Structures are given as C-alpha cells and as structure tokens.
Amino acid sequence: MAHRWNNDLTAADVTPYKTFLNRRQIMAGMAGVGLGTIAGPLMAAEEELKPNTWEEITSYNNYYEFGTGKEDPAEYAHKLTIDPWSIKIDGMVDNPGDYSFGDIMAKMTVEERIYRFRCVEAWSMVIPWNGFELADLLELAGVQSGAKYVGFETLVRPSEMHGQKYPVLDWPYVEGLRLDEAMHPLTIMATGIYGKDIPKQNGAPMRLVVPWKYGFKSIKSIVRITLTDKEPPTSWNKANAREYGFYSNVNPTVSHPRWSQASERKIGGGLFAKRVPTLNFNGYEEDVAGLYDGMDLAEFF
Ligand code: MTE
C-alpha cells in the first residue's frame, strides 16, 4: 500500500547516547566562551526525543484487563492466547467480516514510527512502534459514505484476563475516533516495538496508537472495529464523563479535574527526570490542529 506520510523523525535522527554525552562535554566547554545558554534547552530536547528502553516500555503499563498496577500487565499478560486472532470489521463497510491477523499483516506495509506517548497521568515515553496506518485497514474494509465514526473493542476473555472478573471498568474496553481522526496518517495500528513483535502487555497482536491524544485512546488487543454514524461509547467516558471526554486531545490548557495537564515527566529520564512542559496535541499540532478548526477544545475535551 502507498505511504501517504513519512515520519521525518527516524531512528537515524535519534542521537546515540555516547554522542549525546560527548556533546554535553562540548557544550560544557562552550559555556566558558559564553554560549552556555543554548546548551540547556538543546540537550533537554534531545533527551526528550530519545526512545525509552525496551525494559521501560514493557514493564510500566496500563492494561486493566490484567490488573490496575503498572507492573501487573508485565506479570500476567503472558496468559493471553493471541494465535489464532481475528478482528471483526462491521457496521458501515462494504466488506464486513472476520479478518485474520495473518491475512491483515500479509496485506499491510509495516514501518517504524517513533512517537511521543503521553498518558493522562502526566508521564510520557518515546516509543519506536512498528505498524501500519489504520486508514489502510479501513480502506480494505471499504468505508461507506455515511460513516462518521470508528468504534474499537478489546477482547473479553476473563479466563485469561483475570482483571475482567472485577467491575473496574465496564468490559469490553471500548474506544472511538471520528472518521477523519481514524483516517489521519499519524494514526496507526501497532504490531511491534523496536522491530520485535509487540509484547502482550503492550496490546498484542494489534493495538491502536493515536499520538496526539492521551494514552487511554490507544486501545489494546483489538477484536472488533465498527464503522458508524454515531459517536461510539468510550470506556473512560462511561466510567467518569466529567473527567474523560470523547476527544481527549493532549491539551496543556485543559486541566484534568483532579490535576494539571500542563507538564509531564518522561519515564526513565534519569539525570533529566524533571517535569517538562506538555506540548499542544503532544507536539503534533502542525499535523492535526486543522481537524478541530472552529471547535472549542475546552468544551470538546
Ligand atoms: N487498552 C485496554 N484494552 N485496556 C487498558 O486498560 N489502558 C490505556 C491504553 N489502552 C488500556 C488500553 C491506557 S490508560 C494507556 S496510558 C495505554 O494503553 C498504555 O499503553 P502502554 O502500556 O503500551 O504504554
């Protein structure tokens, strides 16, 4: 399938740690000649875009089907059977049906996208995902002209997902996007991390990634995609409509009712583990702000 969009940030752009350290020394030297003021922000920006380690990405997760603790998914997700796996695509499509994961993968072009990932709890990571554009899968299903929204559902299998034995959320976990958001080239279905199959705690075999929205929109282990003309229900909005809206665009100016969303802390930041200001649309403003022209984003949060 044709690529509509190329990420201009690739692994090659990420400064290797060693170079980074040398640069720090160079910058420190420059401080003596009066150029030190630029070193701070420059280094902070580089550090912010350095991908998190495999260990960080796979051991600090939110996946309530396996428990509500950050370490629970890494401990329990191995119980999930992901082969065979199929996704039902239904609703307003020309080709409804059950699509096997293998058949989907055979038709898709998988590429790497390094994205910032911002959780509503004000932590963030940078993750080198492998995946394909959701638009390519939707095109395969043939979206009908009346469709306006896309609904997503996670697997329900309490025998393997023990968290589903408790009413922490109303299972299945569900999410939704407006059709234009779903078709946007930044929106991907992720099937890997660092070039390896995506681990079960991160949503194997296939999970959504919408980089300009809070992390909870990025629904894991998807078994159903429904095209509809009505705004689909979303799990966190159903659980607490005052705190979680349908759009959930990363927005430093709209606070969560219980905490500010103006800054974030990158997981594993080490030496630089201070909070940094959160960017509008998580840094993807140029690409996506146009989707919301004329909308009051404080009302549609
Ligand atoms: N998808 C399902 N099915 N269940 C969940 O509990 N948690 C969401 C999202 N997708 C969640 C989910 C939240 S709150 C976040 S922040 C991200 O997954 C975390 O993704 P990660 O663990 O890969 O970093």
**Chain segment 186-225, per-residue pLDDT in tens:** 999 999 999 999 999 999 999 999 999 999 999 999 999 9
Residue 215 CB–ligand 1 contact under 6 Å:
yes
pLDDT > 70 in the chain, percent: 84
6-37 pLDDT, tens digit each: 445 444 444 333 333 344 444 444 444 444 45
116 phi/psi in degrees, rounded to 5: -70, 145
Q: Take atom 5 of ligand 1 and give the residue whose Cα is closest.
A: 63
Q: How far is the CA of 24 from the centre of ligand 1 (A)?
A: 35
Q: Can you list the domains of the chain with their CATH numbers?
A: 11-292 (3.90.420.10)
Q: How far is the CA of 126 from the centre of ligand 1 (A)?
A: 15
Q: Are 45 and 14 in contact (CB under 8 A)?
A: no
* Amino acid at position 202, single letter: N
Task: Tell me which residue of 75, 99, 83, 126 sits closest to 279, measured CA to CA.
Answer: 126
Ligand 1: which atom is nearest the Cα of residue 175?
Answer: 1
Going by their DSSP bridges, the two strands 196-197 and 188-193 should be labelled as antiparallel
Residue among 56, 57, 63 to mutate when testing ligand 1 (max atoms within 8 A of CB) = 63
- Cα(36)–Cα(27) distance, integer angstroms: 7
- Cα(144)–Cα(273) distance, integer angstroms: 47
The confidence score (pLDDT) of residue 30 equals 45
Residue 64 CB–ligand 1 contact under 6 Å:
yes
Query: What dihedral angle (degrees, nearest 10) is formed by the CA atoms of 219, 220, 223, 224?
Result: 10
Ligand 1: which atom is nearest the Cα of residue 117?
Answer: 24
Residue 218 CB–ligand 1 contact under 6 Å:
yes
Residue 60 CB–ligand 1 contact under 6 Å:
no
The confidence score (pLDDT) of residue 273 equals 75
100-109 pLDDT, tens digit each: 999 999 999 9
| pLDDT of 41 over the 80 cut | no
Q: How far is the CA of 259 from the centre of ligand 1 (A)?
A: 20
Ligand 1: which atom is nearest the Cα of residue 121?
Answer: 16
Task: Tell me which residue of 66, 99, 100 sits closest to 80, measured CA to CA.
Answer: 66
Whole-model pTM: value is: 0.87
The confidence score (pLDDT) of residue 267 equals 94
The confidence score (pLDDT) of residue 12 equals 47
140-185 pLDDT, tens digit each: 999 999 999 999 999 999 999 999 999 999 999 999 999 999 999 9
82-91 pLDDT, tens digit each: 999 999 999 9
- Cα(66)–Cα(79) distance, integer angstroms: 9
Residue 169 CB–ligand 1 contact under 6 Å:
no
